[in-house]
Amino acid sequence: MQFKDIVGQRDIINRLTAVIDSGRVSHAQHIVGDERDGSLQLAWAYLQYLCCEHRQHYNDGDLRADSCGECPNCKKISQLMHPDLHFIFPNPPNGSNSVSAEDYMREFRDFMLSTQALGTLNDFNETLSGDVKTSMIRETDAANIVKVLNMKPYEGGWRMVVVWNAHRMNASAANELLKTLEEPLPQTIILLVDNDDKRLLPTIESRVQTIKVKGEGLKFKVEENAEFAGMLVGWLRMLFKLKMKELSMQVDKMATLNREQLKLFLQYAMKVMRDCFLNTAAGMECHLGSGDEKFDSQFPKMITTNNIELVQSAIDDAIFAIERNAYAKIVMMELSFRISKALKKR
Ligand SMILES: [Zn+2]
């Protein structure tokens, strides 16, 4: 997981990489945000950057730095195969057998990789059998954290533990963990992650540095996936060029989405347009990341004070029509014309 794969959060990310570069990494941090806001992604990318052997620094773009994605540490962390990276998460009790997060590690890894760390605890629980309502982080889990942090690191670098949904830690687990938080060992880092604005036990909370992830901007990440992004860029390029045959093909593709998906897609499109406008208005670079440099640099500049409202109301109307079960192809075609007309008014 690289920072570039995370939507939004640029300010937080840039602050985090600056702190890591300065070598003043806090040994215990609590990353908190709203549900599905990418806080687990942030923890993942953070540790990858921390361990990266060839950190990349940029002079332009919205990120000041990122991990290289290529070095052995990056590869191991992105595949969740790094021997010094450990995950603890709520897990269901299994009758009289003493179970811990370790017993569900394979499922957790699959879950992380398949959702790119955007799933919720409910999503994860659905992949498990057992009484998930009573999923907790228990004393055994905390003892495992203490154990791995005390071990000699395999790779000679950082020993890392991510505690996902840390608010699900019971009191005995918290007690077990306290000493480690109070007397940190060198080269160890614990990231407590909550996808939910739940409070930690005060004893724990007072010993960790809190990083607030702002949900704004990332709300859309929920629905955003490669398919949406690719579709949007494809569509905008057609609007930009207004080649009818290709535009019509693109509209057919979008019309295959079901109503709910199409609505989410339009909300996503609205957000991207607004971001283009805000960034351009503020004189900042806005990068769409389509892979087409010319389109990426020119399109955002086409959304100005002269047409942002037209674009916005065109998309609003389309969402309204979709909600009222209008024929998707016609709605999307009409929307395409309205936006393309608006773009000419820049
Ligand atoms: Zn690297």
- Would you tell me the crossing angle of helices 308-323 and 259-281 to the nearest 10 degrees? 170
CA 335 to ligand 1 center in whole angstroms:
43
What are the tens digits of pLDDT across the range 255-275? 989 998 899 889 888 878 887
- Check pLDDT > 70 for residue 125: yes
Mean pLDDT of 51-77: 95
Task: Report the alpha-carbon distance of residue 319 to residue 22 in Å, rounded.
Answer: 47
- Check pLDDT > 70 for residue 292: no
Q: Which of 100-109, 178-187, 192-201 has the lowest mean pLDDT?
A: 192-201
Task: Report the alpha-carbon distance of residue 221 to residue 324 in Å, rounded.
Answer: 25
CA 69 to ligand 1 center in whole angstroms:
5
CA 50 to ligand 1 center in whole angstroms:
9
CA 78 to ligand 1 center in whole angstroms:
10
Rounding to the nearest 10 degrees, give the CA dihedral for residues 277, 280, 285, 291: 50
CA 77 to ligand 1 center in whole angstroms:
9
Where do the DSSP E strands lie in 7-158? 28-32, 56-57, 65-66, 85-88
CA 269 to ligand 1 center in whole angstroms:
32
Q: What is the DSSP string of 238-253?
A: HHHHT-HHHHHHHHHH
What are the tens digits of pLDDT across the range 148-178? 888 888 887 999 999 999 999 988 898 888 8
Where do the DSSP E strands lie in 37-154? 56-57, 65-66, 85-88
pLDDT at 77: 97
pLDDT at 306: 87
pTM: 0.63
- Would you tell me the crossing angle of helices 226-241 and 244-254 to the nearest 10 degrees? 150
pLDDT at 287: 63
Cα dist from 172 to 142, 192, 260, whole Å: 9, 17, 44
Show the tokens assigned to 201: 């036990």
CA 84 to ligand 1 center in whole angstroms:
16
Mean confidence (pLDDT) of the chain:
84
Which residue from 185, 184, 193 is spatially nearest to 162, judged by alpha carbons?
193
Show the tokens assigned to 295: 């389109």
- Return the exposure string of 283-306: e unless at least 16 CB atoms fall within 10 Å of the residue's CB, then b: eeebbbebeeeebbeebbebbbee
CA 156 to ligand 1 center in whole angstroms:
16
CA 71 to ligand 1 center in whole angstroms:
4
Show the tokens assigned to 296: 């990426």
Selected residue with higher pLDDT from 200 and 160:
160
Selected residue with higher pLDDT from 50 and 128:
50
Of the chain, the percentage scoring pLDDT greater than 90 comes to 34
CA 73 to ligand 1 center in whole angstroms:
6
pLDDT at 223: 37
Q: Which of 46-60, 107-121, 248-262, 293-307 has the lowest mean pLDDT?
A: 293-307
CA 223 to ligand 1 center in whole angstroms:
28
Mean pLDDT of 195-202: 72
Show the tokens assigned to 326: 């209008």
What are the tens digits of pLDDT across the range 83-101? 999 999 999 877 656 788 8
CA 85 to ligand 1 center in whole angstroms:
15
CA 286 to ligand 1 center in whole angstroms:
25
- Check pLDDT > 50 for residue 220: no
